[in-house]
Amino acid sequence: MTTGFTVGVADIIAKPSIVAEVNSKITMYKKKVRKIINKKQYGRLQSQPGKSTMESFEHEVNKKLNNARDTAGTIALEALASDNRLNNMVVAGSKGGPNNISQIMACVGQ
**pTM of the entire structure?**
0.75
Q: Is the pLDDT of residue 6 over 80?
A: no
- The structural domains of the chain, with segments of one domain joined by +, span 14-109
pLDDT digits (tens, 9 = 90+) for 74-83: 888 888 888 8
Helix runs in the chain, H state only: 16-41, 53-79, 85-92, 98-109
Tell me the pLDDT of the chain averaged across its residues. Answer: 83
As a CATH number, domain 14-109 is: 1.10.132.30
- Amino acid symbol at 95: K
* CA 9, 10, 15, 18 torsion-angle sign: negative
pLDDT at position 11: 73
